[in-house]
Amino acid sequence: MIISASGIGVKRGDATILESVHAVSRPKEMVGLIGPNGAGKSTLIEVMAGLRKPDLGHVFYDGRLAASVPRRRLARRLAYLEQGAKVDWPLSVEKIVALGRLPHAGVFSARNRQADDTAVGSAMRAADVEGFAQRAFTSLSGGERARVLLARALAVEAEILLADEPVDALDPLHQLNVMELLRRTADGGTGVVVVLHDLTLASRFCDRLILLHRGRVAAEGAPDEVLTDRIVAQCYGVRSLSGTHGGRRFIVPWRRASGSWSEPSEEETEPEIANGHGRVVPFTAAPSRPMLDS
């Protein structure tokens, strides 16, 4: 399924949350939604999921207006992982994950229990939560709960997975595990849209990035095109260190940007960082590109 959001505008009272935003998600592609706090990332992913009606613009699913797609059919084709979702039910982990199969239960037809069990088991293994399948969800840590809710989304076996900050509460190992899982999910044919704050994870795992700033698309394209020193400084207000290791680029926020980008900072000399091949280079040596959409 292809999701196309066209000319999206969202207001909250007098505040403009999104303005003239265009975004597309396609099968076999992992798209990262990035940007500073308050840029509108969560609002955009809610609009794409059909959970929030925009004040302006339209969302299309395979060319059909979102409002014309039956909700039950959409629930089987699109999975959404909410940021910081709260579940207070004293259910076992396995039963929480099994809730992801509800869209496949027909109103009058019998459920395919074997397909449900296979999907739930596969999702639990993928999210590394099999070890506490029978524990109460409410007894888990924040990071464990986040992985269980990811497993619930995976159990839907949808064509599109929209995940809002799925690694926010996780330790580094499980952050990598989740990102690798999302990457495999996209490679397997599912379209994935993921909201991220970690620029290195976004650069390493995503095919394409959409950078939101003040409710508008500031840049869109391949990670190397979006995460330039200049764009990061303009949108995030920080100077960063960047380099490559094993052919993959990493970005480390280093300090606040002061003054214009062209003005050298007086507080310290430019830091240096290894480029992954044994050579140390100044971080400002990386080429800069203009904003894609200012």
How confident is the prediction along the chain (294 residues), in pLDDT tens digits per residue?
999 999 999 999 999 999 999 999 999 999 999 999 999 999 999 999 999 999 999 999 999 999 999 998 999 999 999 987 778 888 999 999 999 999 988 655 556 788 899 999 999 999 999 999 999 999 998 889 889 999 999 999 999 999 999 998 789 998 999 999 999 999 999 999 999 999 999 999 999 999 999 999 999 999 999 999 999 999 999 999 989 888 888 999 999 987 544 454 444 444 444 344 333 334 343 344 333 343
Are 157 and 272 within one domain? no
Boundary (domain end) residue, out of 227, 249, 277: 227
Can you tell me the distance from the alpha carbon of 141 to that of 158, in angstroms, rounded to the nearest whole number?
27
**Total domains present in the chain:** 2
Can you tell me the distance from the alpha carbon of 254 to that of 43, in angstroms, rounded to the nearest whole number?
28
Are 18 and 128 within one domain? yes
3-class DSSP assignment, residue 57: strand
294 within a domain of the structure (yes/no): no
Are 246 and 281 within one domain? yes
Are 239 and 218 within one domain? no
What pLDDT does residue 54 have? 97
Are 94 and 217 within one domain? yes
Boundary (domain end) residue, out of 210, 227, 244: 227
Whether pTM exceeds 0.95: no
Residue whose C-alpha is closest to residue 193's, from 170, 165, 174: 165
Are 56 and 134 within one domain? yes
153 within a domain of the structure (yes/no): yes
Q: Which helix (H) or strand (E) holds 211?
A: strand 208-213
Are 67 and 40 within one domain? yes
Residue 26: phi and psi, rounded to 5, are: -125, 160
Structural domain boundaries, residue 194: 3-227
Are 219 and 170 within one domain? yes
